[in-house]
Amino acid sequence: GGRLEYKSSRKIKNGYEIRNIAYLKGESPFEVTFLVSDKSGKNLFYNMFIEGVNMLLTERTEIGALLDQRGGDLNRLISDLPKIG
């Protein structure tokens, strides 16, 4: 029910930055930027920015907070993940 419209791309230190506009039903268009690395010999997606928000850092922070709530018990976090959402 949505589409991405290519806007631009450029070479960056670790690969490429691909800028797009996302169109979803019932939503205003918004910018999505993908960072793609070619260091392994293949183009691999490693980060995404939605309206300038770095999703890698956001998710890292959220997972860290969930882990802290469980006293650093990774197995407990893993077992709780299906319940979180």
pLDDT tens, N- to C-terminus, the chain (85 residues): 899 999 999 999 989 999 999 999 999 999 999 999 988 889 899 999 999 999 999 999 999 999 999 999 999 999 999 998 7
DSSP string, 5-64: EEEEEEEETTEEEEEEEEEETTS--EEEEEEEE-TTSS-EEEEEEETTEEHHHHHHHHHH
Instruction: Please state the pTM of the whole predicted model.
Output: 0.78
